[in-house]
Chains A and B, each alone.
Chain A
Amino acid sequence: MNAAPVLVGYTAAVGFVAPPLLLRAAWPHRAPALAAAVWHALLVSFSIGVALAAYNLAAPTEHLHAGLVGLLHSCGLHVGPGGPDPDTADRLAVALPVALGTALAASLAFHVVRARRARTRHREAVDLVGRHSARLRATVLPYGVPAAYCLPGRRARIVISDAAIRELTPEQLAAVLAHERGHIAGRHHLALAVAEAFHSVFRRLPLARHAREQTALLLEMVADDRALRRHSSAALATAMYEMAAARTPRGAFAAGGHTVLIRLQRVLGPRPAPHPAFWGSVAAVAVAVPLLPLLVACPPVLG
């Protein structure tokens, strides 16, 4: 039996139905790292689903081809009489998944390289212009508005304006720096690059759009949680407010501010961690989801 219809249905569900369900769920903000992993599992699952669906659609007659490697080899199943032109169908069947894989890999490489180049250029300039503070383990730039950001990567930098040092209390400053260190230690830029790369390939797909936005928000929450290990929620929340409020005039045009409100309410509110059993089941689903399309395409041979 050809698995194409099932694969198409499954892939469509992952690409269109799963994102709104995950968006509406309450648990992701309580376990942001796990939720970010689930979004990435969906990205992987969707990619594999599309590749296998394309393969099965292009090779409806399901004959074994010597050129198919490893996984795909076992997915063709049943040696049967060929179609009208087995060679063309075969080549197409292999070419489509390969093209998709290449596009995704190229997109990821493009985003990683471009981001790294931008960071290197920025870091060299920051090192010249700024003053490194050994006490804060950050680079201080003369700038009239309290602000902070980080340059993740191998030679990471935390950049902070001198206004932030003047205007924030030591506790607030420490909480902000801990947040930024959380981004760097967690290598969050790589997870963002994956979501960005997927979005470049599947631009209009709901999964791509939501995964990119949610990854960014969830990673901010992960960094917030890291800061909260050592610092009070009051310090982090008021620092967030101070920095957001100070930047309003020049950034009034920009969108995305509502994410700060979500984070602030989360930081101030109760943050009960999900039950370990629930956490475990979600983690199991996150691991299983990328494997599902393979199970559909290559059912274990019975009997």
Chain B
Amino acid sequence: MRRLGDLEAEIMDRFWTWNRPATVREVVDDINRARTVAYTTVMTVTNILYNKGWLLRGKQGRAWLYSPVRSREAYAAALMEDGLGESRDRSAALVHFVENMSEDEVAALREALRSVGRQAKV
């Protein structure tokens, strides 16, 4: 069974790929090539995305044109920086693989790798 989040992702995927304002009809037609989905369902979920702040919309003639607020890359960078603990609120929410380091600390790491005779790509 598909969840609401899956359809949200499918819709956002189209807007990010097209990289231009589009109508709900265009999105529905594109999704319908792979599987059938009702126009009203897509419209409802698109509205949810608009209300959540993922999409902007403007009226052209009688139709609403939607476009993403930010590019996929911009969102990804913000999420990554949040996830890697570079944002202020460093709670126990996320666990990341390595901490941020200074250049001296990285040099010490390199030294440690070298001292045991392993090769690091620098």
Q: Residues on A close to B: CB < 8 A?
A: 111, 114-116, 118-119, 122, 124-130, 141-143, 145, 147-152, 159, 161, 176, 179-180, 183, 188-189, 192-193, 196, 219, 234, 237-238, 240-245, 247-248, 250-254, 256-261, 264-265, 268-269
- Chain B residues in 8 Å Cβ range of A219: 95
The CA-CA distance from A124 to B82 in the complex, in Å, is 14
A265's partner among B8, B73, B100, B112 (CB-CB below 8 A) is: B112
Q: Residues on B close to A: CB < 8 A?
A: 5, 8-9, 12, 54, 72-73, 75-77, 79-80, 82-86, 89, 91-103, 105-106, 108-110, 112-113, 116, 118-122
14 A-B pairs with C-beta separation under 8 A: A150-B96, A161-B80, A189-B93, A193-B92, A196-B92, A219-B95, A237-B118, A241-B120, A242-B120, A243-B97, A245-B106, A245-B109, A260-B99, A268-B118
Q: Are B92 and A192 in contact (CB under 8 A)?
A: yes
Q: Are A142 and B93 in contact (CB under 8 A)?
A: no
Q: Are B83 and A259 in contact (CB under 8 A)?
A: no
The CA-CA distance from A237 to B73 in the complex, in Å, is 29
The CA-CA distance from A159 to B73 in the complex, in Å, is 15
Which residue in chain B gives the minimum CB-CB distance to A258? B105
Q: Are A245 and B122 in contact (CB under 8 A)?
A: yes
The answer to whether residues A115 and B105 also contact, given A128-B8, A141-B76 and a CB cut-off of 8 A, is no
Q: Are B100 and A247 in contact (CB under 8 A)?
A: yes
CB proximity of A37 to chain B, nearest CB, Å: 18
Q: Are B75 and A122 in contact (CB under 8 A)?
A: no
CB proximity of A218 to chain B, nearest CB, Å: 13
The answer to whether residues A111 and B92 also contact, given A238-B113, A257-B101 and a CB cut-off of 8 A, is yes
The CA-CA distance from A60 to B15 in the complex, in Å, is 72
Q: Are B75 and A148 in contact (CB under 8 A)?
A: no
CB proximity of A120 to chain B, nearest CB, Å: 9
- Chain B residues in 8 Å Cβ range of A126: 79, 83
Q: Are B76 and A248 in contact (CB under 8 A)?
A: no
Which residue in chain A gives the minimum CB-CB distance to B83? A149
Q: Are A183 and B95 in contact (CB under 8 A)?
A: yes
Q: Are B98 and A143 in contact (CB under 8 A)?
A: no
A143's partner among B77, B85, B118, B122 (CB-CB below 8 A) is: B77
The CA-CA distance from A21 to B120 in the complex, in Å, is 36
Q: Are A189 and B108 in contact (CB under 8 A)?
A: no
Q: Are A264 and B91 in contact (CB under 8 A)?
A: no
- Chain B residues in 8 Å Cβ range of A149: 83-85, 94-97
